Amino acid sequence: MITWDGGSNTAARSAALERLDYFCPRAGLVYHKCRNYDYGQNGDAYVSGLSPYIRIGLLTEAECARAALSKHSEHQCRKFLEELFWRVYWKGYLENHRAIWDQYKRDLNLVLEDDSLTRDIATAESGRTGIDCFDSWAKELVETGYLHNHARMWFASIWIFALKLPWQTGAHFFLSHLLDGDVATNTLSWRWVAGLHTKGKAYLASRSNIAKYTENRFAPTQLASKAVPITEDPPLQTLSPRIQAAPIEIDRESKYGFLFTDDDASIPNFGDNRPQTALALFPETRYTRAGISQSVIDFRRSSMDDTVGRLENLGISTVLVFQNHANAIVDWISNHQLDTIACHQPYIGDWNDEWNEIEASIASSGSKLRLFRRWWEADLFPHAQKGFFPFKKRLPAVWERIQSPLVAGLSY
């Protein structure tokens, strides 16, 4: 059984590290053999449950991989390492195909305006469809903020092919309730199930597969017998990515501040050149308006508080703001007379959509913005162009570097 905030774990880095430590002995062959089984909300779990922490940056993929490699050979824990880097693949893929995000938002708004769908969507979301496994997963998601990967695949497949609801509304339901809700992984995984990622290859949930991997807790009979292809407006325009190099060197003479958002609340390695101050942006009002569940908001908020506390412990005074971010940045720069701002480059998603305004406030204050990326993202994102298979070929070089000492500069 996995619990986070409200259970025995809280949204703090200490809790995230505890969970990583607890999971690591099973990150090898046990994970490889058992990870596809979903024993339900109150059953055993052979997966890590690390995703909410990784999503917010309380843990990074590299440190999870490093921890697994400290207990297992690369061969033994390869499956776990690859799953960790599926997330990096999805994030890189969306950076390279950013029009998918714009198209998703546009189509979601269109289908949400369609009154004829409202009742069926509400029935599905509240778990009243009569398909027992689906109804149980809908309730589990809302109650816990989590679903096993296999349950997510079955759920999405039933949503699209049995209930015939638009995939965008299912993706929106997931993003509103998943503690690990991530724009890239979620949108692209729904597209993968719908057969839009690998054209024509949809994922069809089957009774026998569900019965096998839930150990007969469920064996639904109301599933679709075939995946009717989903169509979308071609072509998706692909714009060139904007991927910054990592690490970056900050001039020692400069007065610099560290800016971060809940896109990535990790603390990079500042080396011996620490920022004077930090500013944390958390869009609580935007989330409430967008219908993000209160438990997701609370989880992210407490993660941000935790990062703020850890920065303060490093002697870096930090302020957390919830709205009017552009104005808050101008005040922060002026109060501390900062000439340089270092910030994780925002991923495609809501923060990136707001980024022009934020960049404009920094520029209007006369400060220089230095964006940076985690090194494995800078290395790997350019290779997330097509399928996971060619991307995967790049991973052994990453495992090697993960086990080497940290590089100099502001990095990870």
Kindly list the residues in this chain that would bind ligand FAD in the complex (CB under 6 A). Answer: 35, 47-51, 54-55, 83-84, 86-87, 90, 148-149, 152-153, 156, 174, 178, 180-182, 185-186, 189-190, 193
Any residues with CB less than 8 A from the CB of 387 and at least 6 apart, and which? 198
The SS3 of residue 13 is: helix
Any residues with CB less than 8 A from the CB of 212 and at least 6 apart, and which? none
Q: How far is the CB of 173 from ligand FAD (least distance, A)?
A: 10
Phi and psi (nearest 5°) for 193? Answer: -60, -40
Nearer to ligand FAD by Cβ, of 255 and 286: the residue is: 286
Nearer to ligand FAD by Cβ, of 148 and 172: the residue is: 148
End-to-end CA distance of the chain: 31
Q: How far is the CB of 255 from ligand FAD (least distance, A)?
A: 36
Q: How far is the CB of 275 from ligand FAD (least distance, A)?
A: 28
Nearer to ligand FAD by Cβ, of 182 and 377: the residue is: 182
- Structure tokens given for 363: 């520029």
| DSSP of 199-239 | TT------HHHHHHHTTTS---S---SS-PPP---SPPP-P
Nearer to ligand FAD by Cβ, of 266 and 273: the residue is: 266
Q: How far is the CB of 211 from ligand FAD (least distance, A)?
A: 19
Cα–Cα distances in angstroms (integers) from residue 356 to residues 67, 103, 353, in the given order = 37, 19, 7
- Structure tokens given for 149: 């990967």
Nearer to ligand FAD by Cβ, of 50 and 210: the residue is: 50
Spatial distance between the Cα atoms of 206 and 220, rounded to a whole number of angstroms: 8
Q: How far is the CB of 202 from ligand FAD (least distance, A)?
A: 12
Helix/strand/coil percent split, the chain, to 5: 55, 5, 40
Nearer to ligand FAD by Cβ, of 144 and 307: the residue is: 144
Q: How far is the CB of 141 from ligand FAD (least distance, A)?
A: 11
Spatial distance between the Cα atoms of 361 and 384, rounded to a whole number of angstroms: 32
Residue 407 region by backbone torsions, left for phi larger than 0, else alpha for psi between -120 and 50, else beta: beta
Nearer to ligand FAD by Cβ, of 50 and 311: the residue is: 50
Q: How far is the CB of 233 from ligand FAD (least distance, A)?
A: 22
Nearer to ligand FAD by Cβ, of 89 and 258: the residue is: 89
Length of the chain: 412
Q: How far is the CB of 138 from ligand FAD (least distance, A)?
A: 13
Spatial distance between the Cα atoms of 374 and 289, rounded to a whole number of angstroms: 31
Nearer to ligand FAD by Cβ, of 182 and 306: the residue is: 182
Q: How far is the CB of 356 from ligand FAD (least distance, A)?
A: 25
Angle 75-76-82 from CA coordinates, rounded to 5°: 75
